Structure 1
Amino acid sequence: MAVINGCSIPEDLYYLAGDKLVWARFEDDGTVTAGVPDPGQAVAGKVVAVTPKKLGRTITRGKSMGTLESGKWVGPVPAPVSGEIIAINEAVKGNPALVNEDPYGEGWIVRLQPSNLEEDKAVLVTGRAAVDAFQQLMAEKGISCQ
């Protein structure tokens, strides 16, 4: 796992390129778990509300899969892949601080059944490319988890 300015960036996850701060984990059953990466939760600050889109909703990659709210920011969380929302993390609805405390574990937001996985996967970044992309973005935007 890479650490940039105190932010953890797991190199085995996939990320939507650019400034859309979202991660994707490809599960063994073909589904995709998604959430906000460490730099994203750092930008938002203390998360006070997480409102995922409804179960069964079809989402397009890059469009909102839910809303994150903090004391200084309210905004959409983009979907890393297109597909249907098949699970919502009820734990983050009841305890939104999980997004800050454990963004890659208990702080996940939704699980998707992808509809166009190969095309979507081709535009996501992972490994060293993801670390390099975050390093550049964090330098440009002054993002730090420290």
Structure 2
Amino acid sequence: MKNIQMVVFAVGKEYYGIDIFCAQEIIRIPKNITKVPNMPSFIEGMLNLRDQVIPVVDLRKRFGVENTETENDSRLLVLNLEGMLLGNIVDDVSEVLSVGEESIESLYVEIAHLGNNCIKGICKVEDRLIMLLDVTKLKNEIFASVS
């Protein structure tokens, strides 16, 4: 069986995982995010990160988490989504995890097609469930809502 490595992060009370190869870096949330007018509420703005301008998304707002206040543990998880950098505000980045493919279950087809769902599977790790994000769907979902 093949092992999959993922970065695990929290948004609200839920845990999400994303392929480690998509994670570019994890930093404290910068103060200099520039607001862009007429964007959806979950787009925080743009950020100049080492001479590269990247969009910043608040995943708490995007995933409908009620408390969207930035805490001390909040981080900016910078992802490389098929060649495009995207900053994601998350509540905490907890670990890098290696799991076997057998511990990942696909979503039921009926659930996978509800709304704008970018979840590709659920990983069972001890007593918790980690939702695995599909980076292609996440990128398409975010930028479809902007256009």
TM-score by length of 2: 0.31
TM-score by length of 1: 0.32
Q: Which has the higher helix share?
A: 1
